[in-house]
Structure 1
């Protein structure tokens, strides 16, 4: 019970401080609600983002809520992850680099009953972070003044998930989420600072299914499906204008605006060959096209992503040295961007790898690294590449243990 109280306390801290978190410095995060986040743990990230079909008994797999029914009974799982990203932006005026990092996941899970699994936690949903220098002409003059456009904040998600094992082969799950957060956008001139705050709160649900069977005795296979309906979010907007000495000139409410969470459909396979080798593949479709950017050069479109990953453990049960018990992982993904930039929609690919370190009593430490780059990006104003690191810890705590009486 003390572990549960501590977990709920940490969850509360994350929620309270959610608005200060961001994991991007992309100038394109100024459009819509910002850059989309998935909340992957270190294992899934090392596998290229694969996880819809994964029915692990020792990880809280938020990529498919049906997976919660496969957690080990009598054990409480606590997952926390952090991510660090190093971005390179290349444009006509040169190259710039930036680094960002923050917590990207907090999740807990357990089984109240044999066929019922639960999970709850906090993950970022979108993140905004940019700083753009754009000198502009002073009205009525041929001189320019320094103008900076800055953005921060994003949307976060607190979720409660439930999964039920309908039969030995079939599990169904649902995540019910509270989406909240604020996006801050500032225009900083020499004499004035114009600040706008846009915030929202909404309830959202997504569904999951997993069906498992055996191709042969040593080749189990799991099929996963996920679905999240699109949702219209009302953004309440506030503006204030301050002079350079911080004195307030104007403070007012603006008209409400709207952004759209995408309709999301996912299908995945996860299989094993014996106990040493695992593999997976996911297909995801997200429809962002309802969103508007406010710029004639930027539009939103439908996004399709394919992810694949493999995992190898030399000796899962009988390791005689440290290296034989490690999990070695690699993955790859490719997707079109959800933004159409200057009538171009570039492809983005990720090459990933990682290692899982087993700890005592079913706990683990998972580390991953990914290289991300864009294809066909020569026709867009700013090309983005990144190196991403993810570290997650999964703690397993036995709640109930039956003791045999001699």
Structure 2
């Protein structure tokens, strides 16, 4: 019954995830939209850290090398959702928005001893905006309004595997397939009404490799270092454009209808990351991560905007009393995290950075179980009010269900 329920829920999640629109921020106007900051297990409550973290009962989508420690005859599966309440603020206006969406669905299982595999689907980028632009009519003092709206984003389907090469060393590889569309409509209001609808489709693959090395392994103290390399890639794009004009008398005229065009490839940069995780007395776990994405090397421009190298600094700490493994309270995990992201987009000579603080709980589903209900709350800011830009203050709630099954046990025949 449990297996059937998981399959049904998974199918519903996949269908909803592929059709979702889940943001409303003007910064998603640029490029492929804003990055979807998804983390599995309890890593959201830990400031989205985890490059060096390896737990045989949790899926870690950051580093595929963690799969080298998955237990035999186990089967991990999890899915999550999140909701955001944001305030968008400029020097003259303020607006509140809220949205909710599915964050991911993932499974992991062993292939054989010290060798695991994971499969998952999650949003990669998200787009949602509604902007009015006032433009001057050349040679006059009059103006006209262009309303630009957009929605959509890219999804990511990944296959990853990790194996233990030596006693305390694991390696992993992750192949991701990115696909999706971003729809944009421009509505121009003058003496007539013109609508231009673009459906931009992108797809491509990217490769990531990682390692984890446990440099200290004693009864009371463990330290693991981890590293990632994300190779650069190009996403191919096509555009389908439709446009029509409506005159003041109400007559509608098609200008273009389902015209297909090739788009310039969108370049994703080379990136690398390092992390260190320490476990003290099997009660306190700390994560410290650093990542850098080399956007400058892609040589891409967005009108008057540019891409800049992006750095991410993150820290997380988790506490579990573990006084008595048979008591529910002793198995609750308490989490705290910090994250600072310089951003990759530079507008009006100002880089759009963000930061947040997170708090989380890992609640056991029941006694004597490694199944967890993870909940985390994050508060942060993105953007700035300088140079007539927009600042977003956001509250984010993330819920995650993490199950550990034993689906590969053979049935005994008496």
Contact 2:121 2:156 in 1 (8 A): yes
Shift of 1:11: 5.8
Contact 2:70 2:114 in 1 (8 A): no
Residue aligning to 1:49: 48
Q: Gaps (5+ residues) in structure 2?
A: none
1:202 is the counterpart of 2:209 = no
Residue aligning to 2:230: 228
Distance 1:238 1:15, change over 3 A: farther
Measure the CA separation in 2 of the matches of 1:206 and 1:257: 24
Alignment map for 1:199-278 (pairs within 5 Å): 199-214=201-216, 216-243=218-245, 248-251=254-257, 252-278=259-285
Measure the CA separation in 1 of the matches of 2:410 and 2:71: 15
Measure the CA separation in 2 of the matches of 1:318 and 1:405: 33
Correspondent of 1:326 among 332, 339, 352: 332
Report the 3-state secondary structure (helix = DSSP H, G, I; strand = E; otherwise coil) of the residue aligned with 2:341.
strand
Q: Gaps (5+ residues) in structure 1?
A: none
Residue aligning to 1:364: 372
Shift of 1:14: 5.2
Measure the CA separation in 1 of the matches of 2:101 and 2:135: 34
Alignment map for 1:369-388 (pairs within 5 Å): 369-374=377-382, 377-379=385-387, 381-388=389-396
Measure the CA separation in 2 of the matches of 1:316 and 1:73: 27
Measure the CA separation in 2 of the matches of 1:82 and 1:150: 25
How big is the alpha-carbon RMSD for the aligned residues of Structure 1 and Structure 2? 2.7
Correspondent of 1:355 among 351, 354, 361: 361
Correspondent of 1:342 among 341, 348, 361: 348
The TM-score with structure 2 as length reference comes to 0.89
Report the 3-state secondary structure (helix = DSSP H, G, I; strand = E; otherwise coil) of the residue aligned with 2:43.
helix
Distance 1:380 1:107, change over 3 A: farther
The TM-score with structure 1 as length reference comes to 0.91
Distance 1:31 1:327, change over 3 A: same
Report the 3-state secondary structure (helix = DSSP H, G, I; strand = E; otherwise coil) of the residue aligned with 1:128.
strand
Residue aligning to 1:187: 186
1:283 is the counterpart of 2:290 = yes
Residue aligning to 1:77: 76
Measure the CA separation in 1 of the matches of 2:155 and 2:125: 7
Correspondent of 1:305 among 292, 300, 312: 312
Distance 1:73 1:376, change over 3 A: same
Shift of 1:384: 2.0
Measure the CA separation in 1 of the matches of 2:195 and 2:146: 10
Residue aligning to 1:392: 400
Residue aligning to 1:67: 66
Contact 1:14 1:122 in 2 (8 A): no
Measure the CA separation in 1 of the matches of 2:54 and 2:252: 54
Report the 3-state secondary structure (helix = DSSP H, G, I; strand = E; otherwise coil) of the residue aligned with 1:199.
strand
Alignment map for 1:107-146 (pairs within 5 Å): 107-136=106-135, 143-146=142-145
